[in-house]
Chain A
Amino acid sequence: MTVQVNTELLGELKAFGAFDVSACFNCGNCSAACPVSADEVTFPRRIIRYGQIGDREHLLGSKELWLCYYCGECSETCPRQAEPGEFMASARRYAIASLDSTGISRLLYTSNLFTAFFMAGLTALLAVILLSTRGTMAVERPALFGFISAQAIHYVGTAAILIALIMMVVSVARLSRLFRRGSSSSDKQDETGGANVARRLTVAIGKVVADLATEKHHRSCTEEAQPWYRSRWFMHWTIMWGFIGLAAATTFDYLLLLVADKVPGQPVPLWHPIRLLGTVTGMLVLFGTLRALAARIRKPEKYSSHSLLSDWLFLALLLVATITGFAVEFAVYLPRGHAWSYVAFLVHVIVAIEVVLLFPFTKFAHAVYRPMALLMREMTRHKSLANS
């Protein structure tokens, strides 16, 4: 496949981060220093080269983009201060923006003014929709669903999930097409029977799940000097598993509504398994987001030295959703209904819906793209082994 050299891509990428890969002379120190880069998937040099020559298709089709955890090792060893780690982060932002066909993601990344207006507008819109049904703050006892009807939450939430899902399906389809086109020609030659593919896929999925569960590659990026609970790996692990846990708790709670005779808003005992899951995973998210925000504020490390508003947004929403969530949990046990608890409930619902809605448009999308890349890697690794 012939590639047209194009100088515009680098300029576009620069809108997504602070790096100077024109200083790169292709030495490959970054790839050698990278604890995640392996023989069959060498980066960041490869991705930087795609950026230099303007090979958009290979850049977006590189699964390597999503394997990087930005530990900053490459940027520290770069002899030309080209910031390869920041380049990788920028390329990921660029990829998220490029996979989103609405253009919202690009604007969120590149324009703070747009982000402010967009979020304010979205919040106002959701508030109006949610409050349009009931809107009464009962004082004699906490009646949260008298303030916002359970149905309104259900329908708006379902709509948000559907929108995010549709957007994500479109993006995933684009990405898988790019992955297939981006993989090298030797990978493509191997076209074996369906049964074989299915078996390989099963093995690959197993490996990816195991990888994601422990994030062992991320652990290899973590510097030895710190205790595990202060490491970046643990920070990320808590946010990821905390979020998954919360999502699971919400889903189970909804399923319980369908199968059992449970009334929305009815308090369940603290020791109830779903309740317990929500509390524990909520604590995990709270810990993780606070650590992440603190790191970005203090900027002690390479990976957090250049944050865009869009990066802040996701963490901030997650934090607000968790705090208001705990506040609401607390409020339902109070004998009386307080105004603050209704406000907290409103904020919690709005922010939770925003987190879902923004999924395809912010760095949150990596939660889907990264497992896809891992799966792709497992599949092609299998093929190249079979070929050899």
Chain B
Amino acid sequence: MSKVNPPNEKPANGNQQPKVGVYVCRCGGNISDVVSVEKVAEAAGQMPDVVVARQNTFMCSHPGQQMIVDDIAKLGLNRVVVAACSPRLHELTFRKTLVRAGLNAYLFEHANIREQVSWVSKSDPEGATAKATRLVGAAVAKVRLSRPLDPIKVDATRQVLIIGGGVSGLRCARDLSQSGFRVVLVEQSAALGGRLTELGRLYPVQVEAREVLHSLISEVSRDAAIQVLTSAEVTAVSGSIGNFSVAVRCAQQETTIHVGAIVLATGFDTYEPLPGEYGYAEFPEVITLPQFVRLLEKQGPSDGQLQRNGRPVKNVCLVHCVGSRQIEGIHQPGPDGRLHEYCSRFCCTAALQAANEIRARFPAVNVFDVYRDIRTYGRGHESYYEQASKQGVIFFRFLAEQLPQIRRADADGSALVVQVKDTLTWGEDLEIPADLVVLVTGAVPRDLSRLIDMLKLSRSPDGFLQEVHPKLRPVETAVSGVFLAGGCQAPMDVGESCTAASAAAARVSAALLKGYVELEPFAAVADPALCTGTGACIEVCQHQRAISLVDVMADGVTLRRAQVNPALCGGCGMCVPACPHGAIQVDGWRLEQFEAMVDAIAADY
């Protein structure tokens, strides 16, 4: 399991008399337009142990950082406070500045006077200046009591668990194996392939889905580094990045595997229309696009006629956006109680591909395409629209407020009639003959509640799994060591799923390739001199097995004392007030620091 590195020799200045430098950032007016940074700097200069207090237009800029480095060299600073934006943006920047100047990174404190002050107190510059001063005072009070700390290094297991054996899981497994990782691929159904087994030809390259799948599966099954478990499911997860323990039930047997990271490639479900929605389950001639794709697959290419249940089909009508882009008050929520407000993205091109295939294989069959908008967004997708229109597919456009209606045809001829208020014909009521109505259904999030509970994942409002940041960290979850690949995150087509899977594999590599992971040093530490082994801390601990009672030899007597595994500790601090003897503290956030901060905030300036 994990190994805790002994604390290294602290960099210099840890225990010397604090010499604090305070730097107030103007943030190019973002702060200084509201807060008087000069006054804040002036007040900071009067605070205990503060040697220098300055202000600058952009502290994060090179000159801003260089000012800190120079002051550390010239004035012998050993503590630094920067009052600027949110620490989420630049705390790491300034920690690195300290390291460059030879100080320990954790002798830095960041005061947020932009998001928490200037942006929210525009109408009260004086109050804002006073608040900024107090926040700087609290940061100074805390940093004076800071001690040098080192990141916790934890050995990382070079094995990865991938949940889901669809195209994303398979692609990710191969990428990781090629990067030198062992992979355990857990698939809940009996066979690999996922959604791809239901698809026909894939746009925009017109290859058969089964060919893509065949080549991927044969690569995976030949790969000795990839262990595939089908009809298997994850039943429990513990541990953290680098060292997860995962219980997997497979063939009535529960096994525990150890992995350094977990990739979720659980995919999405296709939308199942509600009974009666566009005549679904009411008329047998109304089917979904996936059902239609299977119908096309079954018909031999040489069949002269498109048939459904043995009856010839002369008119096919496709209806777009079924179960996607839903609007409250117009659409009914599904069985999960959710409205699917998002665009499922792949369905427009998939529908047009089906339309083109009908026109090419059965030229006598009329194809009517009833859409809200055509969103053939991807590279090469627009040519499907162009081809469809050139091949004589006739398009109609409806507004969400005026959904098409489907009814039985009164007279002989077509089986059904699709009524559309067509905006391309100036809102005229049109009746489209249809022997087959194909509902172009999109993607819906899967029910992953057990996995979400086990891994403490968060979901977007749309129900799909959520990434940390949609642009900068698109395949990582808020739980470090857990990654997203493909359709579990959002509706994606095959190409996009593979891109996401490769991205997830790359992020796993970045996290585990060094062989260890570095964690923030903000972990609880029990003082064996004060601890009496009550176990109160263990009872309130939020992280499994982070604290345990161990036997300690002291003066020839064996004592039970609390010991924290910093790799498992989340640094939440629940144990601190639980201890009747004050024997347990969180490094970097010790009680005396909190007390000093409170005093500083309450002080007069």
Contacts and interface: CB of A to CB of B under 8 A. Distances in A.
Given A53-B394, A53-B425, A5 B389 contact: no
Contacts of A80: 389
A55 B422 CA distance: 13
Interface in A10-49: 10, 20, 22-26, 46, 49
A52 B391 CA distance: 13
Contacts of B428: 1, 3, 55
A5 B426 CA distance: 15
Interface residues of A, number: 20
Given A22-B390, A22-B392, A24-B389, A2 B429 contact: yes
Contact of B432 (A1, A5, A10, A55): A5
Contacts of B368: 5
Nearest to A8: B366
Contact of A3 (B390, B394, B395, B430): B430
Interface residues of B, number: 22
B110 to A, nearest CB: 54
A132 interface: no
A29 B393 CA distance: 21
B431 interface: yes
A45 to B, nearest CB: 9
A192 interface: no
A22 B395 CA distance: 10
A101 interface: no
Nearest to B394: A52
A23 B429 contact: no
A7 interface: yes
A2 B389 contact: no
B429 A3 contact: yes
A19 to B, nearest CB: 13
A4 interface: yes
B267 interface: no
Interface string A270-308: 000000000000000000000000000000000000000
Contacts of A22: 389-393
Given A22-B390, A52-B394, A53-B394, A1 B429 contact: yes
A7 B432 CA distance: 10
Contact of A53 (B390, B391, B392, B430): B430
Interface string B67-104: 00000000000000000000000000000000000000
A37 to B, nearest CB: 15
A215 B400 CA distance: 45
Contact of A25 (B366, B389, B396): B389
Q: Which of B368, B422, B425 has the most C-beta atoms of chain A within 10 angstroms of its own C-beta?
A: B425
B394 A7 contact: yes
B573 interface: no
A23 B431 contact: no
A50 B424 CA distance: 10
Interface of B: 366, 368, 385, 389-396, 419, 422, 424-426, 428-433
Interface of A: 1-5, 7, 10, 20, 22-26, 46, 49-50, 52-53, 55, 80
The 6 A-B residue pairs whose C-beta atoms are closest, nearest first, are A5-B432, A2-B429, A22-B392, A7-B366, A26-B424, A4-B431
Given A5-B431, A22-B390, A22-B392, 9 more contacts: A2-B429, A3-B431, A5-B394, A10-B392, A22-B393, A23-B389, A23-B390, A26-B395, A50-B425
20 contacts: A2-B419, A2-B429, A3-B429, A4-B431, A4-B433, A5-B368, A5-B431, A7-B394, A22-B390, A22-B392, A23-B390, A24-B389, A25-B385, A25-B389, A25-B395, A26-B395, A26-B424, A53-B422, A53-B425, A55-B428
